[in-house]
Amino acid sequence: MAKEGAEKAEETEQMIEKETGKEPAEGGGGSHRLGDTQEMRAVVLAGFGGLNKLRVSRKAMPEPQDGELKIRVKACGLNFIDLMVRQGNIDNPPKTPLVPGFECSGIVEALGDSVKGYEIGDRVMAFVNYNAWAEVVCTPVEFVYKIPDDMSFSEAAAFPMNFVTAYMMLFEIANLREGMSVLVHSAGGGVGQAVAQLCSTIPNVTVFGTASTFKHEAIKDSVTHLFDRNADYVQEVKRISAEGVDIVLDCLCGDNTGKGLSLLKPLGTYILYGSSNMVTGETKSFFSFAKSWWQVEKVNPIKLYEENKVIAGFSLLNLLFKQGRAGLIRGVVDKLLGLYTQKKIKPTVDSLWALEEVKEAMQRIHDRGNIGKLILDVEKTPTPLMANDSTETSEAGEEEEDHEGDGENKERMPFIQ
């Protein structure tokens, strides 16, 4: 089957170009052949560190193994975890060079042996264990999902990480029900907006959110009570609800852990699903890591028992790729797509960026400037000024330039699409 799919690759690519109204790509985009090896564009992280470690390079195009699908990528999701990966600010980081990215959308181009239920030409979204930021990816069939006809590729790339994370925390861990209350940090981000939309599907749920002040006007209708991210939100919440809240969703960590636990009602649930407070500068900071770790309140199980409180953690990527829960996640995705079809939820896309603009896109997330999800649009033409230092025609050249730029810490203005 892999051979059959490969033979149809060119036909599928033409179908993709026809769908978007584009002529076959020349020069910067599309696949190329070097001898007998077909190549693709991909974002490559040469080493852990700052933005200068990222380049767009040409790499050998992968082919599907047994049980895998080959996807011609149309759009990729950019998440805060990608910044932490770039810095090497995660447990057991993989070896570099690597292609970042964990989610994408596109069109099935080839099927590996034993793959059933999919056909060449299917529109899909997928989780990928790295390698998503490329023109072509291969990933096991259990991580791939067909998308509705009316869902755009940018929406599909914004869907899996954010909405599955939000759903799992609210319904699988915290058991959200009618009349409950939720506090969510970074309410203007991709997960924050997904949480707000899913809460709106349950009657009489009160949502407290924290976000940068400049985002308030744009997201004020999605949450019940909105506070500035730098304000004393504990007192603000207690002024409105003296007992506190039923659910706290914390992607910040640090001293917010203790604050979140203090706000829980009896039988309330605190869930940690990120640690963005550890990311302060462009590169990994031991001081920020140590400060965040030191500020985390040391949990006393006896105190949890006495106060009837629950503390939990959630990592979607670990659940998928290390703990083998792909079947559970497929059921969640089916429910979420049902809500999308009913027009009860819809991914919030902040902006679209070319692969060559990945540095500027990452800077926008780092500056907390996004409302919703940033998307890497594989077919988007880059703004010339942005692409100048982000494109590398060979991996050998990339390595050489990367060492020359080790001392750089360039200032970049975020570009708002």
> Angle 239-245-247 (CA atoms, 0-180°, nearest 5)?
150
Whole-model pTM?
0.83
74 contacts 103 by C-beta, under 8 angstroms: no
Residue range(s) in the chain whose domain bears CATH number 3.40.50.720: 160-347
The pLDDT of residue 145? 98
Greater model confidence, 21 or 95 = 95
Query: 135: which residues sit within 8 A by CB, 6+ positions away?
Result: 29, 30, 31, 40, 41, 42, 61, 72, 73, 378
Placement of tokens 């560190």 in the chain? 49
Question: What's the chain's average pLDDT?
Answer: 84
pLDDT per position as a tens digit, 243-272: 999 999 999 877 788 899 999 999 999 999
The CATH homologous superfamily for domain 39-154 is Medium-chain alcohol dehydrogenases, catalytic domain (3.90.180.10)
pLDDT per position as a tens digit, 138-192: 999 999 999 999 999 999 999 999 999 999 999 999 999 999 999 999 999 999 9
Give the 3-state secondary structure of residue 265: strand
Choose which CATH entry (1.10.3720.10, 3.30.420.10, 3.40.718.10, 3.40.50.720) describes domain 160-347. Answer: 3.40.50.720
DSSP state of 139: E
| Listed residue (347, 354, 355, 341) closest to 373, CA to CA | 347
pLDDT per position as a tens digit, 330-387: 999 999 999 999 999 999 999 999 999 999 999 999 888 899 999 999 999 998 655 4
The answer to whether the Cα torsion of 7, 9, 12, 14 is positive or negative is: negative
Percent of the chain past pLDDT 90, that is, above it, reads 69
Residue range(s) in the chain whose domain bears CATH number 3.90.180.10: 39-154
